[in-house]
Structure 1
């Protein structure tokens, strides 16, 4: 068979365990989406789908596959596996890296300023793992240290470990990419905190599943009140909170093209009562005569789509 030679260019780092899983499932769209995220970061889903020429259905299927490959329960396990696979640097190697590599030495100096004390061997090992094993350059690591110090008031080794592995997953390996990514995080912070509150989560210490729902809501443009409506609907249908069920509701709304409460309640009049509990001042009647013109037209369009889908199913298409 013909050999393939890849041209040289800008470096992006991919985790082998994720690549192995993608190869195993054989999902080409998921693999393509993963490459897009490595190159551009986790951007808006519609932008990614448009760039990759994927229909909404194909994009959602690819995103679902990727989310399952990196499900919260597996993320911790995979991170631990990656940490165990990292080189076990000796004390001599750590000293040599700090004394002989000017770029890494600058990282160590910045880390000491951030920690407010001399680096321990464990701190040095984590920094060298990010620099040498994960491929983050000195500028990216310094940007991370500065962000953690400004954002949390202190720098913890656990935060460095978690963030550097995540950055490597996303292909954020140089200072410019780090600055762009951190700028987005700063701008998104108020929205993220509101989303966590809607989920009933602690914005300072969200659980992995809460982070997953928040990422989906943020990426697809769901405001906090819509997320809270999904939580209330989950409780009404399940009798308890279920983040998996809530995420399923959001996925269904995304598939239907609705995001705000007004759009959701136009599609699902039965949701109007629940919407009152999340900030609506008055429950609106559900008969079509009370709906705005755009709502009636929009509902008619959705009903027509449903009718065509039922006809297709009846005809075995």
Structure 2
């Protein structure tokens, strides 16, 4: 039985309160504040406040204003990106699964019989695939046409693209690519043709970027596609992506596409995209760049970091990131 503390007869001293001064209003998302509090990362919280105040972030300016070293800024940006990205991904998945119609067999048959445009799309799909549509394929096509809003021409362009690229049209590939096209606003035949032309022009560069990421150029994973799209959209050449991968290996001791994307975002915010620009801004990356260049693209060896050599605060930060990931996945 534990002893009950004796009363000293004195009242506990009240905690000091804080009153905020009036000023220009900025609104913070409560869910982000809850996550920052749960993670307990002071640098990430400061960076979030800086972004909230300035409406964006220039990496070098933010690091100077917050008195953060390049490494501390990078870790803070990485933590913030990981707190934000799962929320957006989960929300999008929830919205689509909640709103997508559940077509019955009768609805599928009526759509093919009564809607001449959709019927023509189905006939074209059978011509491209070389076989009659199954009920699952028919449901996927109707979802793309009726729910995602791709017109018949855009859907035919998508089917033809998948057939030429992969040799076959799998429902999973069709569904995933159609969702990406809808998110990008590619819903007409003209927009699809322009996008595919641009994609063909970018193919040599995208393949080089996938090799830099160590990805399968024929079937890259969704997260690898995300990094590649970011690199292409923001003008990063393959050797800059390879440098980001190399730095990820040095800092994390393992492959982490989230961390690599965080590095690219920081460089983009700072306005640097080529290896020469990056090393001019961050002299400390020069050694990494030199050691990464001789290796074949995509074959840069990771430089594991022995956890025993990390400072206590770095080990604590890494543990919090792992804990957050596990909670997010659950």
Bin of the TM-score, shorter chain as denominator length: 0.5 to 0.7
Aligned pair partner of 1:226 in 240, 249, 259: 240
User: Could you say what the CA RMSD is over the residues aligned between the two structures, in angstroms?
Assistant: 3.3
Summarize deviations over 1:283-302 as a string: whole Å, max 9, x none. xxxxxxxxxxxxxxxxxxxx
1:112 pairs, out of 116, 123, 126, with 126
CA contact (8 A) 1:114 1:154 kept: no
Residue of structure 2 equivalent to 1:91: 105
Q: Are the counterparts in 2 of residues 217 and 227 from structure 1 also a CA contact under 8 Å?
A: yes
Checking the alignment, whether the CA contact within 8 Å between 2:82 and 2:258 is kept in structure 1 is no
Q: 1:23-42 CA distances to partner (integer Å, 9 max, x unpaired)?
A: x959xxxxxxxxxxxxxxxx
- Report what 1:10 is aligned to: none
In the alignment, structure 1 residue 202 sits paired with structure 2 residue 227: no
What is the CA distance between 1:264 and its match in structure 2? 1.7
What CA distance in whole angstroms lies between the structure 2 residues aligned with 1:69 and 1:151?
Answer: 35
Contact 1:136 1:172 in 2 (8 A): yes
Please say which structure displays the higher CA radius of gyration. Answer: 2
TM-score, normalised with respect to structure 1 = 0.63
Shift of 1:146: 0.9
Deviation at residue 254 of structure 1 after TM alignment: 1.5
Which residue does the alignment assign to 2:260?
246
Quote the Cα distance in structure 1 between the aligned partners of 2:159 and 2:108: 19
Q: What 5-or-longer segments of structure 2 have no aligned partner?
A: 1-27, 31-53, 63-77, 296-330
d(CA) in 2 for partners of 1:170 and 1:70? Answer: 20
- Contact 1:145-1:155 at 8 Å conserved across structures: yes
CA distance in 2, matches of 1:69, 1:114: 42
Structure 1 runs of 4+ off > 4 angstroms? 67-70
C-alpha distance in structure 1 between counterparts of 2:262 and 2:84, whole Å: 17
Q: Distance in 2 between matches of 1:74 and 1:230?
A: 24
Q: Is the 8 A contact 1:72 1:209 kept in 2?
A: no
Give the Cα separation in 1 of the matches to 2:159 and 2:91.
Answer: 25
* Whole-angstrom distance in 1 between the partners of 2:119 and 2:207: 36
Task: Report the number of matched residues.
Answer: 228
State the secondary structure of the residue aligned to 2:292: coil
| Mapped pair 1:102 → 2:139 | no
